[in-house]
Amino acid sequence: MASLTIRKLDDTLKAYLRLRSAKNGRSVEEEVRVILRELADGRAEPAEAVAAVPAASSAPVPRAASAAGEPRITLIIGGGIAAYKALDLIRRLKERHIQVRCVLTSAARQFITPLAASALSHERVYTDLFDAESEFDAGHIRLARECDLIVVAPATADLMAKMAHGHADDLASAVLLAANRPILLAPAMNPLMWNNPATRRNVLQLRRDGIHTVGPNAGEMAEAGEAGVGRMAEPTEIAAAADHMLRPPQPRPLAGKRVLITAGPTHEAIDPVRYIANRSSGKQGFAIAVAARAAGADVVLVSGPVELHDPAGISVMRVESARDMLHRVEAALPVDVAIFAAAVADWRVVSEGTQKLKKTSAGMPPLQLVENPDILATISKLKDKRPPLVIGFAAETEHLIDNAKAKFARKGCDWIVANDVSPASGVMGGDRNTVHLLAREGKDVTVDSWPVMTKEEVAAALVSRIARTVGTAS
């Protein structure tokens, strides 16, 4: 199999690759692999698509998350005896689905080999600042920025001194000086080095500069008979600290709460092949379910026929008609919060044809309609199992607030989310929504009008308001 040396490509091609990889937040090598894959699949991106990117852009540095959506760490391994533990750290990080790209200082290479780091990380390992192959497009800057976090383990006294004073005379220190990502240090050294006033000053300075540390721990040293504070934190501790910085635990104000949500349209059968429906996509209800789950709630989603996948961690029940939906809703009670975002058909035909209705010489068959059960009103007026917070949706095409207030009076719910679904709004099936939250305050109704937002943003805002009302953080 032939190999490709990017350095030897012509300048135009190199510039194209540089721009395209920067635009996509990938290394040049990864970008070449993606291009080859796209070519093989017959979906190559035209060169003009990236040629328009300005050469020196002040745009934010692209995020580094890999194609698999995994976060990426640049791991700088310093020249201390604990360098061998950095190999285990690579494994621990990979177990947590974190991608690792290693930089070894020249002293680190006295303790471990680049080959070992490369074999464990499955990535090329970087060692030299003046490496023509990686520096033709300022590789040290990419190493500093094509990641979500930089971890230094072991962080030697020497590396910390260089960092504290802004030195950049090798690859590791140049990457650290050029970094615009958070940095986590795992110091490791002899207790006398750690307690030396110079090291104390440097550590203090680095912490003031916003740099994070894990360890060192107290324990026995590699040097015979020596003990004290200076042992590098264990790889599992460093991996946990890094993971915590990459994916900080989200607040879960709805933990322990059960939330019921309805979404989508209902289909009311006319005969075995035809039905009455509406244009609801279910996106808003699904977005609320996802946001409630993210806030820690136990979520039950009762959905009419929609083309959306079941969101992870949510119990989804698929139904067809308004009557099916009501049954599922009643079976899901008791809940702490019920949100009725489904666009339930108001009517169904009195008697559903058992066979396909035929054209007859007598003309169109008459369709007699009857009202469907009113799910929102039924649940709002329950005596025993009424959820403490019942929220309805009012989809209106005109006189939005007035119609929503009238609905409020009829239904007996606690809040109403009113949204304009006139064709001009593009809400039905679209990704954005403009809503007004109506809430009862004694005998009054307050109206809170929110700006145009994506349906996910509306969901997050609604869930945070719910959390303030019923949540554990209230």
Ligand X SMILES: Cc1cc2nc3c(=O)[nH]c(=O)nc-3n(C[C@H](O)[C@H](O)[C@H](O)COP(=O)(O)O)c2cc1C
Would you name the residues annotated as active-site residues?
A: 278
According to CB under 6 A, which residues from 414 to 453 bind ligand X?
none
Size of the site for ligand X (CB under 6 A): 16
Structure tokens at 104: 């070894």
Closest distance to ligand X from the beta carbon of 169 (Å): 10
Q: Which is nearer to ligand X, 189 or 390 (CB)?
A: 189
Query: Between the CA of residue 103 and those of 40, 79, 242, 299, 387, what are the distances in Å?
Result: 33, 11, 17, 44, 56
Query: Between the CA of residue 69 and those of 65, 98, 122, what are the distances in Å?
Result: 5, 9, 17
**Interacting residue with ligand X among 87, 157, 171, 332 (CB under 6 A):** 157
What is the three-class DSSP state of 143? helix
According to CB under 6 A, which residues from 68 to 87 bind ligand X?
78-82
Largest CA distance in the chain: 105
Euclidean distance between CA atoms 398 and 182, whole angstroms: 50
Q: Are 376 and 395 in contact (CB under 8 A)?
A: no
Look at the chain and count its residues.
Answer: 474
**Interacting residue with ligand X among 137, 148, 158, 268 (CB under 6 A):** 158
Q: Tell me phi and psi for residue 8, to 5 degrees.
A: -90, 0
User: Which one of 51-59, 153-161, 248-256, 364-372 is the stretch in contact with ligand X (CB under 6 A)?
Assistant: 153-161
**Interacting residue with ligand X among 21, 27, 74, 156 (CB under 6 A):** 156
According to CB under 6 A, which residues from 177 to 236 bind ligand X?
188-189, 193
Q: Which residues contact 106 (CB under 8 A, 6 or more apart)?
A: 79, 127, 170
Q: Which is nearer to ligand X, 219 or 426 (CB)?
A: 219
User: Which one of 92-100, 134-142, 155-163, 299-307 is the stretch in contact with ligand X (CB under 6 A)?
Assistant: 155-163
Residue 332 sits in the site that holds ligand X (CB under 6 A): no
- Which of 165, 249, 226, 173 has the alpha carbon at shortest distance from 201? 165
Residue with tokens 């136990």: 298
Closest distance to ligand X from the beta carbon of 197 (Å): 15
Q: List the x/- string, 93-132, binding to ligand X by CB under 6 A.
A: ------------x-xx------------------------
Closest distance to ligand X from the beta carbon of 77 (Å): 8
**Interacting residue with ligand X among 90, 147, 159, 341 (CB under 6 A):** 159
Q: Which is nearer to ligand X, 163 or 349 (CB)?
A: 163
What is the three-class DSSP state of 378? helix
Give the torsion sign (CA, 457, 462, 463, 464). Answer: positive
Residues in contact with ligand X by the rule CB under 6 A:
78-82, 105, 107-108, 154, 156-159, 188-189, 193
